Amino acid sequence: MDVFFLLVFLAFLFVMSIGGVLYWAVMSGQFEDSDTNASVILQDDDAVIGSSDSGRDGVAVRASSAKS
């Protein structure tokens, strides 16, 4: 019977800790604007600088990764 009470107590602590983490995540803005980051991958930013600009292994350098 002692094991039963121990397991109930541990389950209660586990549920309360999960609830606390969820509360912290909601209050700190973790779930705000979740659609913006998902749609960034759909934007076309793979413009190639030029056909003569290539990396060491022959892969064209993208405009987003080119640095001056």
Other beta carbons less than 10 A from residue 12's beta carbon: 10
Secondary structure of residue 40 in the 3-state scheme: helix
Q: What is the mean pLDDT of residues 15-35?
A: 92
CA distance 44 to 40: 9
CA angle 17, 22, 27 (to 5 degrees): 125
pLDDT at 20: 98
Are the C-beta atoms of 15 and 23 separated by less than 8 Å?
no
pLDDT at 46: 64
pLDDT at 53: 53
Query: pLDDT band at residue 13, thresholds of 50, 70 and 90?
Result: very high
Considering the chain, what is the average pLDDT of its residues? 79
Secondary structure of residue 4 in the 3-state scheme: helix
